[in-house]
Amino acid sequence: MFRKIKNVKISNIIIFMGVFSILLTSIVGFLGFNNMQKINNNVKSMYNQNLMPISDIGGIKSEFLKIRLDATNAARSTSYSSEYDSNIKNYDNSIKTYLKNFIGSGLDSSENTYIGAFNSNYEEYLNLWAELNSALKTGGKITESKANRFAQLGDIIDKSLTTLRDYETKKAQLVMNSSDSIYSSSNEAFIIVLMFAIFISTFICAAVVKIIKSSSREIIENLESVANCDFTVKVDSSPKNEFGIMSSSLEKTIINISNMINDIKSKFDDIDSKSHDLASVAEEMTSSSANVSIAIQETAKGTSEQSQNLLDINNAIDKFSHELDKVVESINSIDDNSKGITNLANNSGTNMETLLSSVDNLSDSFNEFITKISILEQDVNRINEITDLINNIADQTNLLALNAAIEAQRAGESGKGFAVVAEEIRTLAEQSKASSENIGILIKDIVNNMGNMLDSSNLMNKELDGQTNIINVTISSFKNIIQKIGEVIPKIEIANMSAMNINEKKMSIVSSIENSSAVSEEIASAAEEIAASAEEMSLSAKSVGQTSENLNVMTKKMHKDLIKFKVIKA
């Protein structure tokens, strides 16, 4: 059993414990909720169907006892009092209320039987009281048999109410017993589930603790052996849990390290042999590099002399080159100046054409402005006509207001209101006339200003026409200048091309000499570098020899250290 559990992952065991705990908690919660609901229903039933009916029966019994006392007191009283009858009626109403509540709680067959008997006896009892009350009013008495029956009914009713109360008490006791039974069964179920949960949890926890202790002890022992350079330890990787996975990884690590150490041990002899060979090669390299260094130094001496001769030739050609460069610069300067003049002339011509276009646009704008001023003058004349019309309307309105005022005076008192209105209309008409006259004055000023503007615009338009003619003459002059310069430029370019060809040939000769000189210098420099490299190679060869000796010492020391490790033989 323990071996099977040992192969289960600890994470799965923990998940199982969590699920198991949730399941048990759900079972306990369900049982508790279900049984508590049953107990709650029993308590409600006890209250609604037993406690309240018992309370109603007690109320009926109490009120009926009051009726019997008042009836007895009324029968024994020497004088009649209607208070007894009034009290009995009130008690009867209370009994009916209690009885209604009792019936409303729901009755079984036994309760219906008891209530039926009570109703018939109680009705007979009230009828006898009515006869007794009527007899007492007249000072008489009822017969002895009815009096005995009256007392007997009182005892029967009281006994039936007591029996009904006892019956309700027994029903409540049954509900109580049912609740006790549910409580006991709930406790038993809870204890059983709790004991089962404790047993399972204890068993699982003990198994997990045992697995962790045994597995961790094995891993710790294996790690201590590895720490002591013992790689021959046997690792048990059969368990399928987390410790088994760690043991499997440890086993792979031990095997890989053992293989690596075995490989290193097997290659020590090769390393020792190669180090001796490396020392021999280093000695041969030292001897060869010395011979190479002597030969290279002689080559460097010859190339240095050749380089000096090429430098002398190059200096002579440089003097010729400087003189030729001055000639080329002069021709280039003439060419640049001629082209600059051409560009200036072209730019000036272009600017003059742009200016001419701007002047034409300005002239068109002035013509358009003059046209708009003319249109504005026509609109102002129309406004002037409208103000004249407003003045005529104001004069006519003023006349109408005067006529209305005259008619209002003729009308006497009834026309006073109309006279006030006529006066207001006349005032408004005069104001309108004054405003239109002011508008007319302003319009006349505008017309005069527009006339002045038209005159100024016409003068400016004439000036623009004169400027346009002058610009056209200037453009024609610039075109003639550009044509003459264009005839000179090709001749300058031919001279410039000839000078450039001579300069290019000179540059080719100089470049060839410089390349030859550079090659000689590079050969000399390379020879010196090779000589230096040969010396460095000699030093490196000596260093390699020393390194091979150090490597031999280190491999022997490492071999001694590797012997300490106990590994599995491959």
Cβ-based burial of 157 (10 A; exposed 0-12, middle 13-18, buried ≥19): buried
Backbone angles phi, psi at 566, to 5 degrees: -95, 115
pLDDT at 427 over 70: yes
- For residue 552, the one-letter residue type is N
* Residues 474, 525 within the same domain: yes
- pLDDT at position 157 is 94
Instruction: Answer yes or no: are the C-beta atoms of 164 and 118 closer than 8 Å.
Output: yes
Provide mean pLDDT across the span 422-449: 79
DSSP H or E stretch at residue 308: helix 242-411
Whole-structure pTM value: 0.35
Token output for 130: 């009515």
Give the model's confidence band at 543: pLDDT under 50 very low, under 70 low, under 90 confident, else very high.
confident
Report in angstroms the alpha-carbon separations of 428 from 233, 405, 560. 128, 15, 133
Torsion, CA 292, CA 293, CA 295, CA 296, rounded to 10:
110
> Which of 177, 200, 222 lies at the terminal end of a domain, its last residue?
222
CB 129 within 8 A of CB 150: yes
pLDDT for 522: 75
Q: Domain for residue 263, yes or no?
A: yes
Higher pLDDT, 315 or 503: 315
Give the Cα separation of 232 and 241 in Å (integer). Answer: 24
> DSSP letters along 359-389, please?
HHHHHHHHHHHHHHHHHHHHHHHHHHHHHHH
- What is the three-class DSSP state of 115? helix
Q: What are phi and psi of 232, to 5 degrees?
A: -95, 5
Same domain, yes or no: 171 and 261: no
State yes or no: pLDDT of 47 exceeds 60.
Answer: no
Residue 38's alpha-carbon distances to 172, 181, 325, in angstroms, are 15, 11, 123
Is residue 47 domain-shared with residue 184, that is, in the same domain?
yes
Q: What is the mean pLDDT of residues 180-201?
A: 86
* 227 domain-assigned: no
* Residue 44, pLDDT above cutoff 70: no
Q: In CATH, what number is assigned to the domain containing residue 43?
A: 1.20.120.1730
Tell me, yes or no, whether 268 and 366 share the same domain.
yes
Provide the number of structural domains found in the chain. Answer: 2
Cβ atoms of 160 and 117 closer than 8 Å: yes
Same domain, 313 and 201: no
Q: Are residues 286 and 362 in the same domain?
A: yes
More confident residue, 426 or 565: 426
Q: What is the mean pLDDT of residues 394-416?
A: 78
| 210 and 287 part of one domain | no
- Average pLDDT of the residues of the chain: 77
pLDDT at 255: 77
pLDDT at res. 407: 78
Predicted confidence at residue 502, as pLDDT, reads: 58
Residue 291 lies in a domain: yes
Q: Is residue 411 assigned to a domain?
A: no
Sign, CA torsion 382/383/385/389? positive
pLDDT digits (tens, 9 = 90+) for 439-496: 778 778 877 877 777 787 677 678 777 777 876 777 787 677 667 767 767 776 776 6
Pair 94, 19 in one domain: yes
pLDDT surpasses 60 at 2: no
Could you list the residue range(s) of the whole structural domain that residue 509 is in? 256-385+464-563
105 with 179, same domain: the answer is: yes
Tell me, yes or no, whether 175 and 261 share the same domain: no
Is the Cβ–Cβ distance between 469 and 375 less than 8 Å? no
pLDDT band at 166 (very low <50, low <70, confident <90, very high): very high
For the chain, percent of residues with pLDDT exceeding 90:
13
| pLDDT at residue 366, rounded to an integer | 64
* 149 pLDDT above the threshold of 60: yes
Among 77-86, 151-160, 187-196, 515-524, which range has the highest average pLDDT?
Answer: 151-160
Residues 193 and 267 occupy one common structural domain: no
User: Residue 105 gets which letter from DSSP?
Assistant: T
Residues 73 and 216 in one domain: yes
The last residue of one of the domains, among 169, 199, 222, is 222
Residue 92: pLDDT band with limits 50, 70, 90: very high
Tally of helices (H runs) and strands (E runs) in the chain: 8, 0
- Domain assignment present for residue 193? The answer is yes
